[in-house]
Amino acid sequence: MKIQEAKYVMSNSDYEKCPAPVKPEYAFIGRSNVGKSSLINMLVEKKSLAKTSQQPGKTQLINHFEINNTWYLVDLPGYGYAKVSKTEREKWEKMISDYLHNRENLVCTFILVDIRHSALAVDLDFMAGLGEAGIPFHIIFTKADKLKAYQVANQVEAYTQKLAELWEEIPAFYVTSAEKHEGREPILKTIESYNETFSQNR
């Protein structure tokens, strides 16, 4: 897929105020500081479409970007650690949950995981929640450039072994590096394939 246009559309705290659900939509989410904004910018080949920050918890709303006038990329707030109050965090959690469970044109959610870490309960619990609700998701391992190739392979092997204990079928996953533009094509190819199915089913 060639990205010809990527533009910011709107930000909301309520899924019902998001753009009309007529185009396929893909949500990107992960723990705070997992490299989500860098990955999104790499996918669309724009340096600052999504705002990157050293400070966890920068994304606080449901952010819609329209790609090639045909689909939406959605940047969601991170889950887990962020320096915000319990009340604020609960508000985010409800906003994210409402969006994921009720957004009718949401085709797939991409869960970002830092490849340098072993499987964390917060990520596995989030995946389990989506699985129980029947919400399709894929996993994106980020920051592969921070490790040597054999370390990446070892980390992926350990992670998939953990997933195999919990899932009958291991979710699809991608190994990426925003720095080196690794993993971009497979993700866009998957989205392209989903877009075709979406239009056929309309």
Write out the chain's pLDDT in tens, 202 residues: 999 999 999 999 999 999 999 999 999 999 988 999 999 999 999 887 876 544 445 567 899 999 999 999 999 988 876 666 788 778 888 999 999 999 999 999 999 999 999 999 999 999 999 999 999 999 999 999 999 999 999 999 999 999 999 999 999 999 999 999 999 999 999 999 999 999 887 7
Q: In CATH, what number is assigned to the domain containing residue 43? A: 3.40.50.300
- Cβ count within 10 A of residue 54: 6
| 47 belongs to a structural domain | yes
Look up the domain containing 126 and give its range.
6-200
> Which residues make Cβ contacts (< 8 Å) with residue 11, sequence separation at least 6?
61, 62, 63, 64
Contact 32, 80 (CB under 8 A): yes
Contact 111, 139 (CB under 8 A): yes
Cα–Cα distance list, 198 to 35, 36, 99, 171, 195 (Å): 28, 25, 19, 20, 5
| 119 belongs to a structural domain | yes
How high is the pLDDT of residue 201?
79
Q: Which of 165, 169, 184 is nearest to 137 (CA)?
A: 169
Q: With residue 125 as reference, give the H or E element that holds it.
A: helix 121-133
How high is the pLDDT of residue 59?
63
pTM of the predicted model as reported, rounded to 2 decimal places:
0.93
How high is the pLDDT of residue 54?
46
| 1 belongs to a structural domain | no
How high is the pLDDT of residue 85?
77
How high is the pLDDT of residue 133?
95
Backbone conformation region of residue 85, classed left if phi is above 0, alpha if psi is from -120 to 50, else beta: beta
Coil, strand or helix: which one is 201? Answer: coil
Q: How many domains does the structure of the chain reveal?
A: 1
| 61 belongs to a structural domain | yes
